[in-house]
Amino acid sequence: MNNYKIKIYSDLKELDKVRNFVKQIALENNIDELNTYKIVLALEEVCVNIIKHSYKFDSTKRIEILAKIEQNEILFSIEDNGPSFDPRDVLPVEVDLIRKKYQKGGLGIFLISQLVDKIDYQPKNKNFPKNKLTITKILE
Partner 1 sequence: MDEKFKVRKQTINDVEIIYIYGILDAHTAPLLENSIKETINNGIVRIVVNCKELEYISSAGLGVFMAFVEEIRYKNGDIKFSEMKDKIFSIFELLGFHLIFDILPNDEKALDYFKLNLLKKNE
- Could you say whether residue 100 binds partner 1 (CB under 8 A)? yes
Distance, in Å, from the CA atom of 113 to the CA atom of 104, rounded to the nearest integer, reads 16
Do the Cβ atoms of 81 and 63 come closer than 8 Å?
A: no
Number of Cβ atoms within 10 Å of the Cβ of 78: 23
Among 37, 75, 85, 132, binds partner 1 (CB under 8 A): 37
The pairs formed by 105-114 with CB atoms below 8 angstroms and a separation of 24 or more are 108/45, 108/48, 108/49, 109/45, 109/49, 111/41, 111/42, 111/45, 112/42, 112/45, 112/46, 112/87
Stretch that binds partner 1, among 7-15, 59-67, 84-92, 117-125 (CB under 8 A): 7-15
* Least Å from the CB of residue 128 to partner 1: 28
- Could you say whether residue 107 binds partner 1 (CB under 8 A)? yes
- Could you say whether residue 93 binds partner 1 (CB under 8 A)? no
- Could you say whether residue 34 binds partner 1 (CB under 8 A)? yes
Stretch that binds partner 1, among 71-79, 103-111, 120-128, 129-137 (CB under 8 A): 103-111
97 SS3 class:
helix
How distant, in Å, are the alpha carbons of 43, 77, 90 from that of 108? 10, 17, 11
- Could you say whether residue 139 binds partner 1 (CB under 8 A)? no
- Cβ nearer to partner 1, comparing 23 with 62: 23
| Residues at the interface with partner 1 (CB under 8 A) | 12-13, 15-16, 19, 33-34, 37, 40-41, 44-45, 48, 51, 95-96, 98-100, 102-104, 107-108, 110-111, 114-115
